């Protein structure tokens, strides 16, 4: 095998890894805005600037949008906006990696309910086992804040809704659906950020930081994902993407200094195994696409 052939094989895998890392870095830095503008203000900056960047990149007005597609895009965007709100609210009180692991149960639930094969029960059992370790059920191991866990579970439910609604616009170009969906998400969440943080959002240093977070956590991951999806099967892509909770936990440790217990790492591992297994065996239509990298 020549060097160019090896590079061609490695490129999509590196692209997925780069996408996951960029998304995690963007979210880790976004959390550092919490003391200044709160989680709601951070969500508004991240989603608002992400929408502006993707509108400039994709210029979705180039494609015609039917009335039926517009209604589907509204539902898709609202689900996306609520998912971001819930996720960033969860980050106020629980570690980044744990929040991502809990949120992953959303797409796992979609995969489970859209396929009744026996193997799917194994993946859901692994995910449930992971959640059983993480959820605050009153024993010594459960040190997580119940409110934060509740928001993470809410984000998981919104992610599931986002996937369901996203299928209804799956026939559209990815740039078309992502840009307009994220614009609707911004319309949903920005008022909450303005209500909470007010004119603090307009401080130049905060605006610059918000643009940085939006670029690193949206524009870069989506671009890398599109490179990967052209060269990887949905199953291979899903397996690679399943490392996201571990990457989030590592970045939370390195950037945010969030320490996890051994059992919390075990729970993250169980959820990752469930996600990787589901990606390998589920039907192609339940896998994540380019738009899904704007989850966090």
Which DSSP category does 217 fall into?
I
Q: Quick check: pTM over 0.95?
A: no
Rounded alpha-carbon distances, angstroms, from residue 105 to 80, 83, 151, 162, 230: 16, 13, 13, 13, 26
| Residue 112 included in any domain | yes
Q: What is the pLDDT of residues 218-276, one digit of tens each?
A: 778 877 776 776 676 666 666 777 888 989 999 999 999 998 888 888 888 888 888 88
The whole-number pLDDT of residue 237 equals: 67
By residue range, what is the domain housing residue 282? 16-294
| Residue 173 included in any domain | yes
- CA angle at residue 49 from 154 to 258, to 5 degrees? 50
| Residue 179 included in any domain | yes
In this structure, what is the dihedral angle of CA atoms 230, 238, 22, 267, given to the nearest 10 degrees? 180
Question: Environment class of residue 116 by beta-carbon count within 10 Å: exposed (0-12), middle (13-18) or buried (19+)?
Answer: exposed
Q: Indicate the pLDDT class of residue 82, thresholds 50, 70 and 90.
A: very high
| Residue 119 included in any domain | yes
Least confident of 91-95, 190-194, 214-218: 214-218
In this structure, what is the dihedral angle of CA atoms 119, 114, 173, 274, given to the nearest 10 degrees? -40
| Residue 7 included in any domain | no
Q: Indicate the pLDDT class of residue 7, thresholds 50, 70 and 90.
A: low
| Residue 36 included in any domain | yes
Three-state secondary-structure class, residue 50: helix
Question: Environment class of residue 74 by beta-carbon count within 10 Å: exposed (0-12), middle (13-18) or buried (19+)?
Answer: middle
Least confident of 24-33, 100-109, 248-257, 273-282: 273-282
Q: Which residue has the tokens 């965007």?
A: 77
The whole-number pLDDT of residue 99 equals: 92
Percent of the chain at pLDDT > 70 equals 85
Q: Is the pLDDT of residue 289 over 50?
A: no
The whole-number pLDDT of residue 138 equals: 46
Can you tell me the distance from the alpha carbon of 24 to that of 60, in angstroms, rounded to the nearest whole number? Answer: 27
- 267 CA to centre of own chain: 19
**Residue of 238, 230, 235, 236 lying closest to 292 (CA atoms):** 238
> Secondary structure of the chain: what % helix, strand, coil (to 5)?
80, 0, 20
| Residue 190 included in any domain | yes
Q: Indicate the pLDDT class of residue 172, thresholds 50, 70 and 90.
A: confident
With beta carbons less than 8 A apart as the criterion, state whether 281 and 119 touch. Answer: yes
Q: What is the pLDDT of residues 183-199, one digit of tens each?
A: 999 999 999 999 999 99
The pair phi, psi for residue 117, each rounded to 5°, is -75, 155
Tokens of 117: 């094969």
| Residue 10 included in any domain | no
- What total of structural domains would you count in the chain? 1
């Amino acid at each position: 095998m020549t060097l160019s052939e090896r590079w061609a094989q490695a490129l999509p895998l590196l692209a997925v890894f780069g996408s996951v890392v960029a998304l995690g870095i963007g979210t880790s830095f976004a959390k550092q805005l919490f003391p200044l503008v709160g989680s709601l203000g951070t969500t508004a900056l991240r989603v608002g600037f992400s929408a502006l960047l993707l509108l400039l990149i994709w210029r979705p007005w180039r494609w015609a949008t039917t009335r039926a597609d517009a209604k589907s895009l509204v539902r898709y965007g609202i689900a996306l906006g609520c998912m971001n709100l819930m996720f960033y609210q969860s980050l106020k009180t629980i570690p980044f990696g744990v929040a991502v692991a809990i949120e992953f149960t959303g797409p796992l639930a979609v995969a489970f309910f859209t396929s009744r094969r026996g193997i799917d029960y194994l993946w859901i059992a692994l995910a449930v086992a992971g959640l059983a370790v993480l959820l605050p059920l009153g024993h010594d191991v459960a040190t997580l804040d119940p409110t934060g866990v509740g928001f993470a579970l809410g984000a998981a439910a919104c992610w599931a809704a986002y996937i369901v609604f996203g299928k209804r616009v799956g026939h559209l170009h990815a740039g078309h659906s992502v840009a307009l969906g994220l614009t609707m998400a911004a319309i949903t969440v920005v008022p909450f950020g303005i209500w909470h943080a007010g004119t603090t959002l307009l401080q130049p240093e905060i605006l610059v930081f918000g643009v940085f977070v939006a670029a690193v956590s949206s524009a870069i991951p989506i671009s890398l994902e599109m490179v990967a999806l052209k060269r990887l099967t949905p199953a291979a892509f899903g397996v690679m993407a399943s490392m996201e909770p571990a990457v989030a936990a590592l970045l939370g440790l390195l950037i945010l200094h969030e320490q996890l217990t051994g059992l919390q790492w075990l729970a993250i591992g169980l959820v990752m195994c469930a996600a990787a297994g589901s990606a390998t065996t589920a039907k192609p239509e339940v896998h994540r696409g380019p738009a899904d990298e704007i989850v966090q």
